[in-house]
Structure 1
Amino acid sequence: MDPSLIAIVVLGAFVGGFISGFAGFGFALVVSGIWFAALPVHLVPPLVVLSATAGQLTGLAKLAKHVSWPKAWPLIWAGILGIPLGTALVAFGAPDKVKLVVGVFLIAYTLWQFMARRSVPQIRVTGLIWDRIIGFLGGILGGLAGLSGALPVVWYQMLGMSPAEQRARYQPFNLAILALSSVSMLLFGQITPEVLRLSLIAMPIVILGALTGVWMFDRVTAKGFKRAVLSLLLLSGVMILTQSLT
């Protein structure tokens, strides 16, 4: 295998692993841009899903004290129900229009948060129905374009939860969606021997990056974590908007 190709796979794996370990989401959006530049298009989605799953598992193992499966369950099962609708939008609808709306929303939200001179008022809601609605919409976006994590992150930020409380809910959700996507890709033959060979290179680096990201998460302040996540959401919005317009 070409050494320069291996270097790009390793670079993407470490960057994606670090972001996954630190923020609990965002692997696919960052890594896809790196790997699509060097790898055949058909190899990237399954490689991203397998590698992101490894990153999520590492993060969950190291942050087990923060994770609450009961709190995440309403988000998870609603998200699973939303995935087929997102997939249907790809097959029969206009996914670029949905991406355009999501991209504009993420950019507007993050700029609003960054430009606020004082703390943005937090919303006050009760009842798990809202978690289910957000999970369902996140599942649609996951089935549409692998964007399952962004909406739950925004939602829990707006509720004013601490970084640990946010991750207790959305990181198990992300893992469940990724695991389901992995099974689906395996059944449809997308996880080929070539993908598995690349995964053997990428996964150890993803785990190393995720451990580094978790180490950073344990040391960052709540304000610093929020700004870092907002920056990642802004980057995600710009990338999604660019994809929808090209």
Structure 2
Amino acid sequence: MELTPLIILIAGALCGGFVSGLSGFGLALVSLGFWLYVFPPTVAVPLVLLCSMASQASTMRMVWQHIDFKLVTPFLIGGLAGVIPGSVLVAYADPWGFKLFVGLFLLIFPPALYFTPPMALTFGGRWMDGVIGWIGGVMGGFAGLSGPPPILWASVRGWDKHQRRGVFQAFNSTVLIAALALQTAHGLVTRDVLYAAVLALPAILLGAWLGARNYHALSDRSFRNVVLALLFLSGLTLVWSSFAGLR
């Protein structure tokens, strides 16, 4: 691999790993902004899935005791149901239009939540949690972007940081494993993807370790604000890279 693509690969891995270790999500949102400059979507998306799994696995021990499986189960059921149509979309949908749509959504909704007092919305109950999980599953199967729907939904549910982190990490890990299995079955995990993943892995693990160390220092409110800020910055990155990709 040439030097410039290698630097971009490692920078994306380090930044994505740090964000994932800090918040329990976000590797795809951050890393795709780097990697789509040097890889086509058919390489970047399965690469994100592989690296996300490595990051999630490296910090799972830290949050395992905080995972409320009763809380997360509806998200998992919906997410697994959404992975299959999401994975099928990879072969047919326009990734640039998808990124632009998600990016614009993330530029609007997180700031709105930030300026809204913390709430504990109970609308829809567990079935609505499942619907949000399904949307996350579709987005995860298509582009490794499983995180935003359940993360935003958790913010309006009013859960504390450990509850939210447990939901994020259990949901993302499950959906990304299923998405990777489907993409492998469709032949999308190629030798180029595996080679790039091996090169990125040390930076992913270092970034995740650094992020996890900072997670413990955050209060509930600080964690909420960090999550919303990361989503907003991810929206900027996705919109910018979408327009750059059209040139």
Q: TM-score range by the shorter chain?
A: 0.7 to 0.9
- The more displaced of 122-131 and 76-85 is 122-131
Q: Tell me the equivalent position of 1:202.
A: 200
Q: CA deviation at 1:110?
A: 1.7
Cα distance in 2 for residues equivalent to 1:40 and 1:141? 18
Q: 1:79, 1:138 within 8 Å by CA — same for their partners in 2?
A: yes
Are 1:169 and 2:167 counterparts? yes
Counterpart of 1:14 in structure 2 is: 14
| 1:112–1:126 Cα change, 3 Å | closer
1:59 CA displacement: 1.9
Cα 1:15/1:135, change in 2 over 3 Å:
same
Which residue in the other structure is 1:191 paired with? 189
Residue range with higher mean Cα deviation, 90-99 or 13-22? 90-99
Deviations 1:120-144 (A, max 9, x none): 4431347421211111122222234
1:81–1:243 distance in 2 versus 1, CA, 3 Å = farther
The whole-number CA distance in structure 2 between the counterparts of 1:169 and 1:240 is 24
Residue type of the partner of 2:225? Answer: R
Question: Tell me, which stretches of 5 or more residues in structure 1 are unaligned?
Answer: none
Distance 2:187 2:94 in 1: 25
| Structure 1, 41-50 or 166-175: larger mean CA deviation | 41-50
Gaps of 5+ in 2: none
The aligned counterpart of 2:234 is 236
Counterpart position of 1:48: 48
Shift of 1:41: 4.8
**Whole-Å separation in 1 of the counterparts to 2:42 and 2:130:** 33
Following TM superposition, by how much is the alpha carbon of 1:102 offset from its aligned partner in structure 2, in angstroms? Answer: 4.3
Query: How far did 1:154 drift?
Result: 0.7
Deviations 1:38-80 (A, max 9, x none): 3455432222111111011112122222223443222112111
Q: Which amino acid aligns with 1:204?
A: P
Q: Which of 49-58 and 71-80 deviates more?
A: 71-80
Moved more, 172-181 or 193-202: 193-202
CA distance in 1, matches of 2:41, 2:115: 38
Helix, strand or coil at the partner of 2:66: coil
Q: Which residue of 1 aligns with 2:213?
A: 215
Corresponding residue for residue 106 of structure 1: 106
Superposition map of 1:145-184 within 5 A = 145-184=143-182
Q: 2:126 aligns with which of 115, 128, 137?
A: 128
Query: Partner residue of 1:35?
Result: 35
Distance 1:187 1:51 in 2: 18
Instruction: Name the aligned partner's letter for residue 108 of structure 1.
Output: I
Query: Would the aligned equivalents of 1:75 and 1:131 in 2 still touch at CA under 8 Å?
Result: yes
Q: Which amino acid aligns with 1:20?
A: S
Residue 65 of structure 1 aligns to a residue whose secondary structure is helix
Q: Quick one: which amino acid aligns to residue 10 of structure 2?
A: V
TM-score normalised to structure 2 length? 0.86
Q: 1:88 to 1:194 in 2, by over 3 A?
A: closer
CA distance in 1, matches of 2:145, 2:58: 20
Q: CA deviation at 1:151?
A: 0.8
What is the DSSP-based 3-state SS (H/G/I as helix, E as strand, rest coil) of the residue aligned with 2:64?
coil
